[in-house]
Amino acid sequence: MNTESINILEHQFTMHPHGALFWHENSMLLISDVHLGKISHFRKYGAAVPQKAIQKNFELLNEVITFFEPEKIIFMGDLFHSSLNKEWELFKKWTHNIHAKIILVIGNHDIISPLKYEELGIEVVPEINLDGFLLTHHPEEREELFNFCGHIHPAIRLRGLGRQSVRLRCFYKLELQLLLPAFGEFTGSHTKEPETNCQIFALLGDTVLPVPIETYQKKKRNWK
């Protein structure tokens, strides 16, 4: 497993190929846009999504938790896609085996009552403001705070020889903001173009791949 580390405001963070971000100083694992329940929702209405895809989300969660052993797990919004369905029971069973404290930062898809989460010992909050960092679901600009967020499901399109291309989920960093990729298996993504002074870290298999922006932009000019 090839991770990538980054220093922000003198704090150390590690990006995992599954799309999670670990904050070392606070032993905090940040995960955004899992969208549990979405697969069951689409299967209910006839979508041909394999049943095993439901379990895959929990397997990926277990892998990153085992890798980092965090004291806290922060779900950065859209933990569940919609209302209660059978995946809630799977989630309940999953939480019983998790020893870390779980906090949910509310996202636009999180319509399940906070009382249901509180019954599982999960704290539900609108945002987290800690050590100069602001953790939200939607991107925010707040003076003197660095924003970690989700919602966008960022991806980058990379092209090779012969005009082959691949779109990869990515961590997308600006001067005062870092967009986390969607963690869920069935979430979709939004292709982002590099902005001035941004950093992009693509997720390719078991590797976090830093994307050289100048090289990317030079190749893009040649594609036209």
Q: What is the CATH number of the domain that holds 147?
A: 3.60.21
- DSSP notation for 108-124: TT--S-HHHHHHTT-EE
d(CA 64, CA 48): 28
Q: Residue 63: helix, strand or coil by DSSP? A: helix
Domain count, the chain: 1
pLDDT score at 165: 82
Range of the domain at 20: 4-223
**Bridge partners for 156 per DSSP:** 168
pLDDT score at 48: 42
Q: What is the pLDDT of residues 70-105, one digit of tens each?
A: 999 999 999 986 656 678 889 999 999 999 999 999
Phi then psi for 59, rounded to 5 degrees?
-65, -45
List of the chain residues with pLDDT < 70: 38-53, 81-85, 160-163, 185-187, 214-224
pLDDT score at 213: 78
Q: Which residues, 6 or more positions from 41, have their beta carbon under 8 angstroms from its beta carbon?
A: 81, 82, 85
Q: Answer yes or no: are the C-beta atoms of 131 and 12 closer than 8 Å.
A: no
